[in-house]
Amino acid sequence: MKPRMHLNDDLTELYDRILRIGSLVEDALRKSVVALSTDDEELAREVVIGDLEIDRLRNDLEDFATKVIALEQPVATDLRELITSTKIAGELERIGDHARHIARLVNKLPQPVMNIALPTIERMSVIGIGMVHDSLTAFVEEDELKAREVAKQDDKMDEEHRALYRQLVDLMRDHPEWIAHGVDLLFLNRFLERLGDHVTNMCECVIFGKSGEHVELNK
């Protein structure tokens, strides 16, 4: 019998739970941007309702991790991985919130405004979904190098964010009648940019879980 079989099973379950939340979050992001580009209110509603499930799973994961700490009294790497899991679940939950925020803008913006912003939003969402996915792979594989590479992608998100910000400022200057929509899009731009920051935090967690070192990626 392998030592600490019960704790090993618990940690495996924790990983599965994280991946389940991660796949729901990736899905929510994808759907929210598709809904935005196709004005699909039904799909947007699915994202908003789905976020409740993400929140619930995150709370369940925290309860589960707390139970494992209480009953198994893990130390060292095991303990760091447990703490890391709850932190990563928290970051994923915030990304899920951003997907919900995006979904709430579906059918609220006039077409000419959307035409300006949509290409950047789609690019950012593709980068963002890729980052979420790869950071979770780094977590499961305990791959510090991969975590560092994923975090570097955040620079691309920041570039896109800055470019869209400038476009939106120009839009609002030239068309004061669209200021309210421009502000909505500034927020949306900000949500996507924050997504990159959340993934960066997840990558920092992966490194901490593996090494016990607190690192600041993408200062």
Partner 1 sequence: MSNEPTSTPIIEIRNLSFCYGDFQALENVNMSFVKNEVTALIGPSGCGKSTVLRTIDRMNELIPETRTEGEVLFHGKNIYDDDVDPVEIRRRIGIVFQKPNPFPKSIHDNITWGARINGYRGDMDELVEISLKRTALWDEVKDKLKQNALRLSGGQQQRLCIARTLAVQPEIILMDEPASALDPISTSKIEDLIYELKQRYTIIIVTHNMQQAGRVSDKTAFFMVNDARSGYLVEWGSTEEIFFSPRDPKTEAYISGRFG
- Closest to partner 1 by CB, 122 or 142: 142
What is the distance between the alpha carbons of residues 88 and 190, in angstroms, rounded to a whole number?
A: 20
- Closest to partner 1 by CB, 78 or 160: 78
| Contacts of residue 4, Cβ cutoff 8 Å, sequence gap at least 6 | 72, 78
Residue with tokens 């016990």: 212
What is the distance between the alpha carbons of residues 129 and 135, in angstroms, rounded to a whole number?
A: 10
Residue 208 CB, nearest approach to partner 1 (Å): 10
Q: Are 14 and 65 in contact (CB under 8 A)?
A: yes
DSSP of 93-153: HHHHHHHHHHHTTTT-S-HHHHHHHHHHHHHHHHHHHHHHHHHHHHHHTT-HHHHHHHHHT
- Closest to partner 1 by CB, 54 or 147: 147
Residue with tokens 């899905």: 27
- Closest to partner 1 by CB, 38 or 211: 211
Q: Are 154 and 218 in contact (CB under 8 A)?
A: yes
- Closest to partner 1 by CB, 196 or 209: 209
Contacts with partner 1, residue ranges (CB under 8 A)? 3-4, 7, 73-80, 211-212
What is the distance between the alpha carbons of residues 91 and 35, in angstroms, rounded to a whole number?
A: 23
Q: Are 153 and 131 in contact (CB under 8 A)?
A: yes
- Closest to partner 1 by CB, 79 or 217: 79
Residue 140 CB, nearest approach to partner 1 (Å): 19
Q: Are 130 and 153 in contact (CB under 8 A)?
A: yes
